[in-house]
Chain A
Amino acid sequence: MASQKKKLTRRKFLLGTGAVVGGGLVLGYAALPNQTKDIAAKYKGNGQVLSGWIKITADNKITVIVPHAEMGQGAHTALPMMAAEELDADWDLVSMEEAPGMPEFANQPLAEGFIVGDKLPNILAPLINKAFYSITQAMDLQITGGSTSVRFTGQYGMRVAGAAAREMLMKAAAKEWDVPLGDLSTEKSHVYHRASGRSATYGSLADAAAEFDPNPTPTLKAKADHTLVGTRTVKRLDVPSKVDGSARYGIDAEVDGMLYAAIARVPVHGGMITSLDDAAALAMPGVKKVCNLGYAHAVVADKYWRAKKALDAVDIEFDGNGNEGLNTDAIFARFARDLETSELEYDIDEGDFSTASGRLVEAEYAVPYLAHACMEPMNCTAWVRDGVCDVWTGTQAPLMARTAAATAAGLEPEQVTVHNHMLGGGFGRRIHAENDYVAPAVEIAKMAGAPVKTIWSREEDMRFDEYRPAVVSRFAAKLDDSGKPTAWQNRFSDKREPVEAPLIPYAVENQSIGYVKSQSHLKLGPWRSVDHSQHAFFTESFIDELAHAAGADPLQYRLSLLTDAPRHAHVLKTAANAAGWYTGVKDGRAMGLAVHESFGSIVAHVVEVSVGGNGMVQVHKVTCAVDCGEAINPDNIESQIESAVIYGMTAACYGEITIENGQVVEGNFPDYEMVRLAEVPGIDVHIIESGAPLGGLGEPGLPPIAPAITNALYVLSGQRVRKLPIKNYEFAATA
């Protein structure tokens, strides 16, 4: 057996940045020698861990260790594909394993010191230093979010790891056969020496290969040589377990002797329990304990149903912390007031709006709070005993979950083990912006002195989400005689991230984009595409209003202003051509479009809508064009765009969390309606491989769908939807 002889000769770091959700986090990758050892020790088993994330066993099977969670976005397949491609692996022998929640796997694509050399984006260069490494550790990375898995971990990690491992295997064969490295080739997990007819499996070479140092800058395959990446031959690895009921989500965790808990937060957000009477609940069958967490109460019982029934028998009184009187109108009034009175911070402040000449056009938009409504309600199983804590859950950020659990258990993070599971939906909800499901579950388990699975009811899940922020956004523009905007002014009521969300691709000389900080008592968190979900609706509605004010075709108007954004223009044209773009109303239908860049990808949607006899808006067809640079798994790209379109349609048409008396009104699907099968439009996806750096795909399909629909509704009805959701408007039937 090879020892841990590999020495890291370069302390180099790769850092990806930007669009990572959750409190301004920066995504970082780093590697230090001790981590390498830890990873190898953890994963060696009966195989060799080559280049960090690739394990090869003697039976020629390859396991790719993926430091991201699977929540339906396909990372558990796309990342192994990228490693297997460079490795020339036999895909049928490739499997994947999710990395455990350990700092050693903190989104480090280059676990053995690989660097990307000239591929590192310039803007990241200043961040590469050791000090930053500590910061990334402290920030608890290993996040699945920001549409980053493929474009960072895959591109800068998996590809390099795969290519380096292949080199090591070839070197081992060259040494054993005493032939020049250049005479060797690889195919389907074998090394070949064609001249002599010799061949060997990767599995048989793995031990010898581990003696070589991995090359941090191996040559990557040319796109034309790809046999997996970019093809439709690969089926997702997680799908079979999702059709026979065997996939295991957090809610399916089982621990010997496990009890169940049901939980109820204080109904008024921000409120605390002032008194609790548990006598009736404790007398109910199977009830073991009633927990007062201050902000919530919970009942622990031997069966979930017993816990849930007893929960209602607990009598609490609470103090609403002054929030009892809040309602939705008051919250939006606060945003409006703060927009007038609070000091602005600027994203851009160039030129002078007041002196710019032209006709003034103004509009105000608003979007509501939104719940994530993951299909799997929040849940977490925890067990605190003898100075250790185990947590079984589905999380997008295992290290943040670990820290949250440690704090709740009164332990150090190193004493906590997070067993991550499949996620029954993530969408940003399972990133722990507020640590609101792992921490309570750990507190409850600690109080109970036993392993406890805490399950949120749908109502608790929906009424105590970390909501997509509600925002008010005001615009003013000036149009010259030709209708072209000479000045663009935007003021909005809250900002989180990513910073670039409100920026426009259009060439407008004078631009001022600024915001105030105005929020309510609700907890907020990242929601699929984060701030892009609001700002694409705002900016793509307003540019559409300007087009109509100018008497121009919304497509041609945008194109005339995309002079500095050729990729946007190409995406928009592609979608418009594919959709058969037309203006005006045709057979009771109309088209609308929108284009928006997020997470490195540019997406345009063209939609065709009508209003049915019942007054219901019908979206007939969505034609999408997406420029994500390069397509890794085309079938899954289509799947993610379909997904984002439908998630965004639900938000645009129905999504609205409202507040009365400080409490969230909507509690379950009947009052927080979803797009269902009957309403789903035809969705036609056109992938553009522009060769630009890899873009993300989990989120970018979402932002432009809402404005595309409302822009179409304007053409159809003359009514401009400036405040989502669409369900609050009435439309006359057109078809």
Chain B
Amino acid sequence: MEFSLKVNGETRVVDVEPDTPLLWVLRDELGFKGVKFGCGVAACGACTVHMDGTATRTCVYPVEAAAGSDITTIEGLAVDGVLTDVQQAWIEEQVPQCGYCQSGMIMAVSALLAETPNPTDEDINAAITNVCRCGSYPRIKKAIQTVISERGAA
């Protein structure tokens, strides 16, 4: 069955079963390999993308429900090759280790900061529930604060 998806500003047509999780469509049909498979039950967040700006775990999100939404993957964050401030903070604080969860982390944090520019620790704890097995969390916290303070200064 054909579905028309708008991903990173481009409309693409895919031919898959309607219950196919968006994750596999993005990765294998459209080539957005930055979107990662971690658990298949929306428990770890490695597959997080933005659906109309909202952080969404795609491993349980059927493709048929995604048609019509504006989807952004990690590959679509940078504009004209310029990384976002969140991505830059990730480099500045040297956040990633194995890096596998970081696409999802960056997408989750980007969505949080767009919705809540000055989140409290509680806001951050509640919103960022993605799993990182390397334990990059202390640096994720630092990087979030870096972004907040730089945006505040701008």
Contact = CB atoms under 8 A, between A and B. Distances in A.
Contacts of B32: 245
- Among A427, A645, A678, max chain B CB count under 10 A is at A678
A285 B99 contact: no
A303 B101 contact: no
Interface in B1-49: 16-17, 19-21, 24, 27-28, 32-41, 43-44, 46
A243 B137 contact: no
B100 A375 contact: yes
Contacts of A247: 99
Nearest to B77: A244
B65 interface: no
Contact of B100 (A249, A636, A645, A675): A249
B24 A304 contact: yes
A683 B33 CA distance: 33
A467 interface: no
B132 interface: yes
Interface string A267-302: 000000000000000000100000000000000000
Contacts of A252: 27, 33
Contact of A457 (B16, B19, B40): B40
B134 interface: yes
B43 A425 contact: no
Interface in A199-244: 235-236, 238-244
Contacts of A72: 96-99, 134
Contacts of A646: 134-135, 137
Interface in B65-117: 73-75, 77-78, 83, 87, 90-91, 94-103, 106
A238 B140 CA distance: 17
Nearest to B103: A245
Nearest to A427: B133
A625 to B, nearest CB: 17
B35 A245 contact: yes
B125 A677 contact: yes
* Chain B interface main SS type: loop
A426 B98 CA distance: 8
- Among B19, B135, B137, max chain A CB count under 10 A is at B135
A425 B39 contact: no
A643 B136 contact: yes
A71 B38 CA distance: 16
B124 A677 contact: yes
A177 interface: no
Contact of B43 (A240, A303, A642, A670): A670
A675 B83 CA distance: 29
A633 B38 CA distance: 30
A635 interface: yes
B35 to A, nearest CB: 7
A680 interface: yes
A285 B17 CA distance: 9
B77 to A, nearest CB: 7
B78 A244 contact: yes
A242 B137 contact: no
B133 A425 contact: yes
Contact of A645 (B28, B35, B41, B135): B135
A675 B136 CA distance: 11
Given A242-B99, A458-B39, A647 B133 contact: yes
Given A239-B94, A423-B98, A376 B131 contact: no
A674 interface: yes
- Among B35, B74, B100, B139, max chain A CB count under 10 A is at B100
Contacts of B152: none
A455 interface: yes
B99 A422 contact: yes
A433 B129 CA distance: 32
Contacts of B87: 243-244
B97 A244 contact: no
B73 A375 contact: no
A245 B33 contact: yes
A523 interface: no
A394 to B, nearest CB: 9
A667 B95 CA distance: 28
Interface in A88-125: none
Interface string A645-673: 11100000000000000000000111000
B44 A669 contact: yes
Interface in A400-459: 422-427, 455, 457-459
Contact of A244 (B74, B131, B134, B135): B74
- Among A242, A643, A680, max chain B CB count under 10 A is at A242
A424 B100 CA distance: 5
Contact of A243 (B21, B102, B132): B102
A425 B94 contact: no
Interface in A299-341: 303-306
B128 interface: yes
A458 B90 CA distance: 27
Interface in A52-76: 71-74
Contacts of B99: 72, 238-239, 241-242, 247, 422, 424
B98 A422 contact: yes
A376 B32 CA distance: 16
B119 to A, nearest CB: 12
A69 to B, nearest CB: 10
Contacts of B16: 303, 305
A705 to B, nearest CB: 11
Given A72-B134, A305-B20, A306-B17, A424 B98 contact: yes
A94 B130 CA distance: 34
A642 B38 contact: no
A374 interface: yes
Nearest to B132: A375
Contacts of A516: none
Contacts of B77: 244
A647 B133 CA distance: 7
B22 to A, nearest CB: 11
A642 B139 contact: yes
A251 B44 contact: no
- Among B77, B96, B97, B99, max chain A CB count under 10 A is at B99
Nearest to B144: A677
B82 to A, nearest CB: 11
- Among B74, B83, B98, max chain A CB count under 10 A is at B98
Contacts of A642: 135-136, 138-139
Contact of A375 (B101, B137, B139): B101
B17 A375 contact: no
A303 B20 contact: yes
A646 to B, nearest CB: 3
B83 A643 contact: no
29 contacts: A72-B99, A236-B94, A238-B99, A242-B102, A243-B95, A244-B87, A245-B32, A245-B74, A245-B103, A246-B75, A260-B28, A303-B16, A305-B20, A306-B17, A375-B38, A375-B44, A375-B101, A376-B98, A376-B100, A422-B100, A426-B98, A427-B133, A458-B38, A458-B39, A636-B94, A642-B139, A669-B131, A678-B125, A682-B138
Given A245-B33, A677-B140, 7 more contacts: A235-B91, A244-B83, A305-B17, A374-B98, A375-B38, A458-B40, A635-B94
6 smallest CB-CB distances across A and B, nearest first, come from A245-B34, A646-B135, A72-B97, A242-B99, A424-B100, A72-B98
